[in-house]
Amino acid sequence: MPTQILKAHKVRLYPNEDQQIFFAKSFGCSRFIWNKMLGDKIDHYKATKTTLNNTPAQYKKEFEWLKEVDSLALANVQQQLRGAYNKFFKQSSGFPNFKKKGIRDSYTTNNQKGTVAITDSTVKLPKIGHINAKFPDKINGLIKSATINRTPSGRYYVSLLVETIVNALPKTQSNIGIDLGLTDFIVLSDGTKVANPKFLSKLQDKLARAQKILAKRRAIAKADQRKLSESRNYQKQKLKVAKVYEKITNTRKDFLHKLSFNIIKNHDVIAIEDLNVKGMVKNRKLAKAISDSSWSSFTTMLAYKAEWYGKTLVKIDRWYPSSKTCSNCGHLLTKAELPLSVRSWNCPSCLQENDRDLNASINILNQGLLLAKQSKTVGATGLA
């Protein structure tokens, strides 16, 4: 059955010099409004113990250069700040931070009667017109908004949020359990093992060399009493470091998207662990490996793709002893009987030899099928 969804398409932009200047102004104005509104809210609360309902419009008389950029970009900053405040008070998340130049430079605008549109080779944006672009795939549907950002490596992208229709994938009569790991990225209950690509580890030496050169050039600039922004050699090397990081991020995302779609396409019920990733990365010995694996991104992709394509994703309680339970007879070992260093074990009850990860994935599948019958499924929000 067709489902209406909101899907984001990331498109590479190739702006000319004037367009780059406009983007820089837009990034700067968006950052200024965020910081100004946040600072005024904080000062107002300290003085009155009440919340200040300020808007971008009230700052335009004092700061007339704010009129040079898209007004919807500033309006979206107001909405984002309001959302961050609500999240802080209602969900006890972190308090909104002030923004810095060069870190996640972006702004968002909305499509109003065709102000955001696409052609075969360009993207049209308000107050700037058509920008040369490269589309990775075909975009079908109504464009709702566009978020433009500049990466640390100096590349420009626009994320187009499109309202479109997707058709449910055909049922395969196949169900799967997934055990997440570090040696193998995932182990499936059918015995399939997907190796961990370790994208960061593969480029660790190249990254370390680039960062070492960057540190030397920072020291040279400091010794010469020059600002880093005025040191060409430092800026060139900073760009090289950013490109290495960007390559790691892009290859990782490509791997996760392809793997998650392949699993959704070939299975009807997917069962997976609900891991406490935030808690796990506090382990200094495993933090880098866990972050490199991006389990959270993978489970989030599985969640929204299952929702899009009519499949069922079930999360298993993080305390469920999937590794210590024999998948054949249900015998449960203690933590002392099965330390992390033991990768396989023989069940003392039925004598079955259990591969630790494969056994866990089978138990996850069995538990997931029980929960699926009770309709205890989870969407993208629940897993994220």
Domain residue spans in the chain? 2-167, 175-379
CB–CB of 162/144 below 8 Å?
Answer: yes
Distance in angstroms (rounded) separating the CA atoms of residues 274 and 287? 18
Q: Please pick, among 70, 105, 268, 273, the residue that the annotation labels catalytic.
A: 273
The per-residue DSSP string of 340-378 comes to TT--EEE-TTT--EEEHHHHHHHHHHHHHHHHHHTT---
Distance in angstroms (rounded) separating the CA atoms of residues 260 and 305? 8
Distance in angstroms (rounded) separating the CA atoms of residues 213 and 235? 11
Any catalytic annotation for residue 137?
no
- Predicted confidence at residue 375, as pLDDT, reads 60
Any catalytic annotation for residue 190?
no
The per-residue DSSP string of 140-198 comes to -SEEEEEEEEE-TTS-EEEEEEEEEEEPPPPP-S-EEEEEE-SSEEEEETTS-EEE---
C-beta neighbour count of 296 within 10 angstroms = 16
From residue 114, give the alpha-carbon distance in Å to each of 60, 88, 364.
26, 35, 48
Q: Please pick, among 105, 292, 307, 357, the residue that the annotation labels catalytic.
A: 357
Q: Please pick, among 70, 105, 179, 268, the residue that the annotation labels catalytic.
A: 179
State whether the Cα torsion 211-185-350-352 is positive or negative: negative
Per-residue confidence of the chain (384 residues) as pLDDT tens digits?
788 999 999 999 999 999 999 999 999 999 999 999 999 999 999 999 988 999 999 999 999 999 999 999 999 999 999 999 888 888 777 889 999 998 899 999 999 999 999 999 999 999 999 999 999 889 999 999 999 999 999 999 999 999 999 999 999 999 999 999 888 899 999 999 999 999 998 999 999 999 999 999 999 999 999 999 889 999 999 999 999 999 999 999 999 999 999 999 999 999 998 877 776 767 777 777 778 888 889 999 999 999 999 999 999 988 889 888 999 998 998 888 888 788 888 999 898 988 889 999 999 999 999 888 876 444 433 333
Pick from 339, 342, 232, 252: nearest CA to 295: 252
Counting Cα atoms < 13 Å in the Cβ hemisphere of 290 gives 14
Any catalytic annotation for residue 179?
yes
3-state secondary structure of 208: helix
Angle at 302 between CA 108 and CA 381, to 5 degrees: 55
Please tell me what DSSP assigns to residue 272: E
